[in-house]
Amino acid sequence: MTQIYLHDTLKQRKVPFTPIDANNVRMYVCGPTVYDKAHLGNAKTPVVYDVLYRLLCHVYGKEHVTYVSNITDVDDKILNKHKETGKSIREITEQTYNWYIEDMAKLNVLAPNERPRATEYIADMIELVKKLLENGHAYEAEKQVLFDVDSFSGYGTLSGRSMKEMLAGARIEVADYKKNPADFILWKPSAADQPGWNSPWGYGRPGWHLECSAMSSKLLGNDFDIHGGGSDLIFPHHENELAQSCCAFPNTKFAHYWVHTGMLMIDGVKMSKSLGNFYTVEEVLQKAPAEALRLLFLTTHYHQPFNFTFEGLQLAKNTLDKFYNALLKNADVETVAAAPSEKTISALADDLNTPLALSYLHETVNELNKAETVEERRRLKAQLLADAYMLGLLYNEPEKWFKGEENDTESAEIEALIQQRIEAKKNKDWATADAIRNSLKERGIVLEDSPTGTTWKRA
């Protein structure tokens, strides 16, 4: 069996991955808060863990892997959006959730086994708070329930920070009723017009950190294999999850491996609405196909900072043009499903080395373009598709890739012009034939003549 290595944030190094139970490999990844359209950061994280999910399924078998990625649908950001727009909480979360699912489908992100919503697990969150109070790790103050960080000796081990560093580097609410300024909310009161649930501590709602602990415990158990998310979640979110879960369930480790993606930047600067460099997935996909964005994410090792540029997006599009062109040229070669190559699996097993795996795709494409026999072409085409699947790439039909998202009317018009050009060439009306080619070229349509006919694609 292939040995997988992952960079574990808690151990601060790359380590061999050994599941608790090879017949039940479990992974939890923090999903989005559904209050607005998905931004680039919301897209990068699921693409990375989608590759890890594909690898785990390949090594252990799909039936032996459980992947959970949550949806946060109760949060102050959602309340703020409600106040801004006047839309109901339900309308905001449903619409945003559907946008997110559509974006993930475009990026070819496989659906996780479970996509729990926080509002579906309130009862489990209440039980978790009760356990923490019973175990002496939480206390009530000012109609709130707070976690007592001083009660957990391991607090700060995930982020590797001292208490002083944690307080200095985070937006922590300072309040007189807290025993320690770092104590965080487990349950807080809700106003009559805010989402809330009845609890032993009154009408209220859970704290953000509590949500993921309750959902992961319910769906994966108190001990599971991998917890993932962006590096921006290490503190305070994941630090707090680790603390409350280990305190609620003594003698457990909660997540055995912590895997985090690097920070996302735009043109070398952290993405921020205040800096005017904040992009939604929808905005980016107006510039290039979703697959180009997926490929761009994979050109940088997941653990490193990722720098998005529109120039890089265009280069990713050009690379895919090359890959799909090789498939288009070999469209006449039928293949059967093949296993991914050992070198691609080895690259991904080495802490998801996607840049190295992509270099192998380039090698295979070059070999496919040079292949002379049908058998060689069949083998290389099958290998290319199998390796690309592990990266979630080459999921479009080659012809559709080059023709883009044109509608049926436009497609019919182009085909009619091509037919007129064919007739003009038969009649040796070269001027008309050239005029049609040039007019289509101005619209970004490239014609390719061959002995079998004329095909077209977008430039």
Give the integer Cα–Cα distance in Å for 345 and 292: 22
The dihedral of CA 186, 188, 194, 198: what is its sign?
A: positive
Contact status, residue 257 vs residue 225, Cβ threshold 8 Å: yes
Q: Which residues of the chain have pLDDT under 70?
A: 167-172, 405-410, 452, 459
Q: What per-residue confidence (pLDDT) applies to 445?
A: 84
> Which of 49, 88, 115 has the alpha carbon at shortest distance from 348?
49
- ω before 398 within 30° of 0 (cis)? no
Contact status, residue 233 vs residue 260, Cβ threshold 8 Å: yes
Q: What per-residue confidence (pLDDT) applies to 433?
A: 85
Q: What per-residue confidence (pLDDT) applies to 274?
A: 78
Output the CATH code of domain 5-265: 3.40.50.620
Please measure the distance between the N-terminal and C-terminal CA atoms of the chain and give it in whole angstroms: 44
Q: What per-residue confidence (pLDDT) applies to 456?
A: 81
> Which of 44, 459, 3, 18 has the alpha carbon at shortest distance from 257?
18
> Which of 55, 68, 17 has the alpha carbon at shortest distance from 392?
55
Q: What per-residue confidence (pLDDT) applies to 369?
A: 96
Give the integer Cα–Cα distance in Å for 217 and 225: 12
Tokens for 123?
A: 């009862």
- Domain spans, the chain: 5-265, 287-401, 406-458
Pinpoint the alpha helices (H) of 61-121: 76-85, 89-106
Q: What per-residue confidence (pLDDT) applies to 405?
A: 61
Q: Is the pTM of this model over 0.75?
A: yes
Q: Where are the strands (E) in 318-400, listed by range?
A: none
Residue 55: CB partners within 8 Å, gap ≥ 6? 4, 345, 348, 349, 352, 390
